[in-house]
Amino acid sequence: MKKIPVGISSCLLGQAVRYDGGLKLDSYIVGTLAEYFDFKPFCPEVAIGIGTPRPTIQLVKIDNEIRSLGVKNPDFDVTAPLRDYANRQKAAHDGLCGYILKKDSPSCGMERVKVYINNQPQKMGTGIYAEAMIRNNPLLPVEEEGRLGDPRLRENFIQRVYVLYRWKRLLAEGLTPSRLTRFHARHKLIIMSHENYIDLGQLLASVTKSNVNDVANSYITQLMSTLKKVASRKSHVNVLQHIQGYLKKELSVDDKAELCELIERYRHGEVPLIVPINLLKHHFRKNPDPYIEDSHYMSPYPQELQLINER
Ligand code: SF4
């Protein structure tokens, strides 16, 4: 499989672009994710030409507007150049399937970046570049490297990256009503594992050759927004039980009891998701079902990432 293009704050790859010339290499990103993702680095502060090392900047709220100003020299205002740079990169960002941002940065931070209001810091901001980049690319899965340390957030981000990647491959093949319907069928169980999911299948009920682009736009917008909510143990249990239903005639009483027990143990946090999934895969190898075989739920990304081992 080709590596997936994912944008990243350059400093997380260990590039010496930080304001103090220091390095900020993230070993999980460089060691594990780089096996699967083709990282496209962006350093907005270097790109706008303020050099390395450079004066430190911070977010300041003035007259209801958040600006990026020099710490020592408040007349050093780089708000517009950072925003313009993000806007100029829109075409490059369009080709990405995800983006990992550097936390706390007044340019790249995704959330809870310090904003100074009357000289008092409040963790309420988004970096100027990050804010424009996210606004320009509403479908793009975006996460911060700090939050990737949380297994649930990491799994959620990587799942969204793979879904958007498969969506872009579908668009590259050419959108047709039947391809769109199959895409939905293959992702339906993933959608069901997110609480309060909307039945996106209803959207596709009226899809025709002439409206396929419009339907696809609303479909992917709603899908990516649904997937942002982290799937809960309870909703995974519902999906596992739903999948178990496809084996109701095939399993012996003992096999059924074993599967139910593992699903219950997963519900109580005694085993990770991979345990009932592996048992289900084992049963489906002996009793194949075309819908389950085609679904991405039990293999949403390469197994080597071992994400469902931790959930
Ligand atoms: S946080 Fe963003 S602006 Fe700062 S060094 Fe890293 S890539 Fe450059």
- 54 vs 77: CA distance, rounded Å: 13
Q: Long-range contacts made by residues 285-289, C-beta under 8 angstroms, separation at least 24?
A: 286/250, 287/247, 287/250, 289/246, 289/247
Q: Ligand 1 pocket, 68 CB below 6 A?
A: no
What pLDDT score was predicted for residue 310? Answer: 59
Amino acid found at 211: N
What pLDDT score was predicted for residue 32? Answer: 87
What pLDDT score was predicted for residue 311? Answer: 56
Choose the residue to mutate in 105, 110, 133, 145 for probing ligand 1, maximizing ligand atoms within 8 Å of C-beta: 105
Q: Ligand 1 pocket, 44 CB below 6 A?
A: yes
What pLDDT score was predicted for residue 294? Answer: 96
Region of residue 7 (phi > 0: left; psi between -120 and 50: alpha; otherwise: beta): beta
Q: Ligand 1 pocket, 109 CB below 6 A?
A: no
* pLDDT profile of the chain (311 residues), mean per 10: 92 83 76 93 96 93 96 97 98 97 97 97 97 98 94 93 97 97 96 85 93 97 95 94 96 96 96 94 96 94 68 56
Contact 189, 245 (CB under 8 A): no
What pLDDT score was predicted for residue 198? Answer: 80
From residue 148, alpha-carbon distances to 42, 63, 303 in Å are 19, 34, 18
What pLDDT score was predicted for residue 308? Answer: 56
3-state SS, residue 115: strand
Q: Ligand 1 pocket, 26 CB below 6 A?
A: no
What pLDDT score was predicted for residue 306? Answer: 61
- 167 vs 177: CA distance, rounded Å: 14
What pLDDT score was predicted for residue 14? Answer: 86
Only one residue has tokens 């390469």, namely 302
Rounded distance from Cα 38 to ligand 1 centre (Å): 19
What pLDDT score was predicted for residue 22? Answer: 67
What pLDDT score was predicted for residue 110? Answer: 98
Rounded distance from Cα 44 to ligand 1 centre (Å): 7
DSSP line for 151-201: HHHHHHHHHHHHHHHHHHHHHHH---HHHHHHHHHHHHHHHHTSTT---TH
Both tokens assigned to 149: 């340390």
Q: Note the pTM of the prediction, 2 decimals.
A: 0.94
- 162 vs 69: CA distance, rounded Å: 37
How crowded is residue 83: how many other Cβ atoms within 10 Å of its Cβ? 19
Atom 5, ligand 1: which residue's CA is nearest? Answer: 18
